[in-house]
Chain A
């Protein structure tokens, strides 16, 4: 397959600029945005696109994230294609608006540059920010590199605007590791994206000639029905991502495995499980360990919400032990979020694989090759029946 199919140009850009290009090629009508490290240059790039006359969009340079998101909610409700972006504390300041987008079933697409929380004062990477909002009804897609940011945004619009789905999508990429990393990125032409992503017939909630009232909803069964339908749409979005990826591959020649990517998992006896930019490092470790004769594979999770339980069960069905790398802490529960999700997805569903959780990369601490090697070695030990520690904080060992 031609990897540069339908590419207008290849440019060496940061992850943030790739996100801005992702929005640009999808021709949004209204953008609501506010700067915060490490996402700020998305705002700069988008305003520059508009200043240069390259992008014909209304941009709401909001006075805060809460209004940035509210403005795209208003626009999307009127029928607009919208885009927003934020990170960390910005995401929490946005929360009052963020929570409303899925409840209104609005097809908003945004990016989150994953970052630590305050205090203590840091702007470095972790998944702590996005993990705090996983049960809001947004679809969360995590990516590994700058090309994937752009591609995921294009696919996100297809999923969000699908009449069966109508849910907002947050494309999440690691702050600094991707937001300011420069990589060559294939930027498709707007025509090619238009062919893949039709602009017509977007659903609207209301407009000047379309009387719509969001009726006050009592404690009757309407509320349960609304919530049930929303949950149902989330379930459907899993399969939708697979379909959209296949079509995307036909148009642009790239694909990422849908809900998750299995790397050298065919005959794997043990597996690494992670999500985000360090999946790239994990890939290198898997290759090295394979050369040493260890049958290890990698599962890179892409869709965190909804959680792809079926794909996870299939991917891990022959695995004897699992090493999970978590870049966040689920406070009040002993491990990280990925580990918790995996236990829920596997245990009680016929796949009680022994697994250990490794909390790593907090506050921008590098998840290096030696650290991941250690995870592989210990996971191999688990498979061989050795005693193991359930939760390990890698930076503290």
Chain B
């Protein structure tokens, strides 16, 4: 990989803990054991919590982090919007901070259902306008809070409660909408995929996102394995997260204004079966299904890889 030549600088620490601040979420919150979202958000707040204002939507995250009727579980300001409009709500807030020259980091925490389905218009509009917000999509590949329904981010052949397995159907018959690429193609300041199995990479991307919103919008797509919905033992969240990357199913990359870079590449690429077979939501799959998924995975990875390589070539040509 070429030496990093990035627009947005950030302090590079050897260990992830050297960059982290106070844990702003209380203990004993009502997340399922093994929840990747909880870990993901703790790191958002430990990295950016200092002057953050969070914008959430109805879903697991709101219930876990906003608290219940007894009190709040976090010590950062939170606003709740609707799934349909949260990007715009954070945008308006961000505009007011700019108008009055106040410091602050507006961060949207939304699921894939909001980001890729019902709130996509609002997200796309904010991206086009270059709103100075960080949008973090917690992608658990479905509507998990309402009980594992299909979203457009649900992968091919995956079981959900609305893409059931029966005599005439075997899970979702469409490929997932690959949202991070769509966001990068809005030419926003910063786009990245991240994963709780690679915390160092994730924290660095969060720091970059904070830097990037001095210029425009930052979007981070965080894969959030959901032990309840994906049907796997709760101690396997990190394993699955890492397998997703090691099989090239979920490549880790970033893009600054459409300039792509791979941020991690597995030394030895595993077959996608090793990732798929860990999850109960794929237990109905046949060998030919796995072949198809392998094909789709390779295609997606090669597309990203090609984008990253063309970016490198352009950078070299400039020099």
Contact = CB atoms under 8 A, between A and B. Distances in A.
Nearest to B100: A29
A70 B85 contact: yes
B77 A74 contact: no
A72, A80, A216 interface centre (most CB from chain B within 10 Å): A216
Contacts of B77: 206-208, 210-213
B129 A61 contact: yes
B91 A74 contact: yes
B41 to A, nearest CB: 14
B104 A207 contact: yes
Nearest to A77: B79
A69 B81 CA distance: 11
Interface string A191-214: 000000000000001111011111
Nearest to A223: B69
A257 interface: no
Contacts of B207: none
A205 to B, nearest CB: 7
Contact of A214 (B66, B92, B122, B128): B66
A67 B121 contact: yes
A78 B96 contact: yes
B71 interface: yes
B278 interface: no
Contacts of B85: 66-67, 69-70, 73, 96-97
B90 A29 contact: no
Chain B interface: which size bin?
Answer: 35 or more
A58 interface: yes
Given A71-B91, A96-B82, A216-B63, A63 B96 contact: no
A67 B131 CA distance: 12
Contacts of A62: 88, 125
A212 B89 CA distance: 16
Contacts of A75: 92-93, 95-96
A57 interface: yes
A82 to B, nearest CB: 7
B125 A207 contact: no
A218 to B, nearest CB: 4
B49 to A, nearest CB: 11
Contacts of A210: 77
A67 B96 contact: no
A30 B97 CA distance: 10
B103 interface: yes
B53, B77, B87 interface centre (most CB from chain A within 10 Å): B77
A364 interface: no
A320 B205 CA distance: 74
A190 interface: no
B176 interface: no
Contacts of A217: 69
B86 interface: yes
A323 interface: no
B43 interface: no
B75 A211 contact: yes
B124 to A, nearest CB: 7
A315 B251 CA distance: 72
A60 B92 contact: yes
B170 to A, nearest CB: 35
Interface string B111-137: 000000000011011101100000000
A220 B78 CA distance: 22
Contact of B66 (A32, A211, A215): A215
Contacts of B104: 207-208
B98 A58 contact: yes
Interface of A: 29-30, 32, 56-58, 60-64, 66-80, 82, 96-97, 100, 205-208, 210-218, 220, 222
Q: Which 6 A-B pairs give the minimum distances between C-beta atoms? A: A63-B125, A71-B92, A67-B88, A74-B92, A70-B85, A208-B104
Interface of B: 51, 53, 55, 62-63, 66-69, 71-72, 74-82, 84-100, 102-106, 121-122, 124-126, 128-129
